[in-house]
Amino acid sequence: MPYLERLKIVLSKTEKEYKKLPDTSNRKPRIGKRLEIAEGCVKAYEKLQAGIELPTVAEFRARANGEREGYTKIVGYKNILAMVEK
């Protein structure tokens, strides 16, 4: 299955999970952040297919760890970062 289709499936599942939660749920902010990241991944990959290159895995890790100027360290979200790296 192409990568973009898999990203869209993850996005769809995350949207459904977010919509099911009541506004008072303490999980809603975390799922909202996951949704935001999934949307960003889909947009980035669509741009990639249009000819824009994504960084290498090593560069992505350096940016996620805040080792590059202009990037802050991402705390948590290890599962999502691992999915993006794959």
Confidence of residue 74 (pLDDT cuts 50, 70, 90): confident
pLDDT surpasses 70 at 64: yes
pLDDT single digits (tens) 20-35: 999 889 999 999 998 9
Task: Judge residue 62's burial from the number of C-beta atoms within 10 Å of its C-beta, 0-12 exposed, 13-18 middle, 19 or more buried.
Answer: middle
**Beta carbons of 15 and 49 less than 8 angstroms apart:** no
pTM here is 0.53
Range 6-17 average pLDDT: 89
Confidence of residue 4 (pLDDT cuts 50, 70, 90): confident
Confidence of residue 52 (pLDDT cuts 50, 70, 90): low
